[in-house]
Amino acid sequence: MRNYDLTPLYRSAIGFDRLAQLAEHAASNKGNSGYPPYNIELLNETRYRITMAVAGFTMDELDITSEGDKLLVKGTKAEQDKERKYLYQGIAERGFERTFQLADYVTVVGANLENGLLNIDLQREIPEAMKPRKIEIGTSRLIDSE
């Protein structure tokens, strides 16, 4: 894997340091393997849904934490009481930790577990001050000084 040096971007792009950090994070792929598989859906302009396949996990074994711009989904499997003898084991029974980077103003609004799928609903709530607004153009007259 190639490592990219984004230092020149930090020096020349004012206010884009967060964007550069996101690019560095994506390039480093810090331990996010392909397990468990997930989808990210765009439901409408401001709503999203992350769906994760967590077959075999109960609600007590799953933990969702949102802190700042990070969403952490963690699954911890309980220890099995009895020893099983598998002829073939294709169902993963291991724990996982998956981190998602959230954009500005995206918050978690709910989560549910149904049929082995964990659905996490997100919403982007842009503050009024950040929304576009129309600026009226006025006229100004110069006052003659006497």
Q: How many domains does the chain have?
A: 1
CA angle, 74 as apex, 77 and 120 as ends, to 5°? 120
Domain that holds residue 74: 34-128
Kindly report the pTM of this predicted structure: 0.68
The answer to the question of residue 73 being in a domain is: yes
Burial 62-79 (b: 16+ CB within 10 A, else e): beeebeeeebebebeeee
* pLDDT in 10s for each residue of the chain, 146 residues: 566 666 665 555 555 555 556 666 665 555 556 789 999 999 998 899 999 999 889 999 999 999 988 999 999 987 776 777 889 888 777 899 999 988 888 999 999 999 999 999 999 988 888 778 888 888 776 666 55
In the numeric block, which tokens belong to residue 89?
A: 């084991």
Place of tokens 């894997």: 1
pLDDT of 18: 58
The answer to the question of residue 29 being in a domain is: no
The answer to the question of residue 21 being in a domain is: no
The answer to the question of residue 60 being in a domain is: yes
Query: For residue 113, what is the domain's CATH number?
Result: 2.60.40.790
